[in-house]
Amino acid sequence: MRWLKHRPIQIELEPNNYVQMLLSDYNDASSYCLRFIDPYGDTVFNELQIPILIDELSIAINKLTDHEIVGFANEVINLVKKAQNKVHTYIKFYGD
Q: What is the pLDDT of residues 15-67, one digit of tens each?
A: 678 888 888 777 888 899 999 999 889 999 999 999 999 999 999 999 999 99
Domain of residue 61: give its range.
31-93
Q: Give the chain's domain count.
A: 1
* 3-class secondary structure, 93: strand
Q: Is residue 21 part of a domain?
A: no
Q: Give SS3 for 56.
A: helix
Helix, strand, or coil here: 44?
A: strand
Q: What is the pLDDT of residue 10?
A: 65
Q: Indicate the SS3 state at residue 53.
A: helix
Q: Is residue 59 part of a domain?
A: yes
∠ CA(92), CA(89), CA(41), 5° rounding? 15
Is 72 among the domain residues? yes
Q: What is the pLDDT of residue 1?
A: 46
Contact 22, 57 (CB under 8 A): yes
| Residue at 73 is within a domain | yes
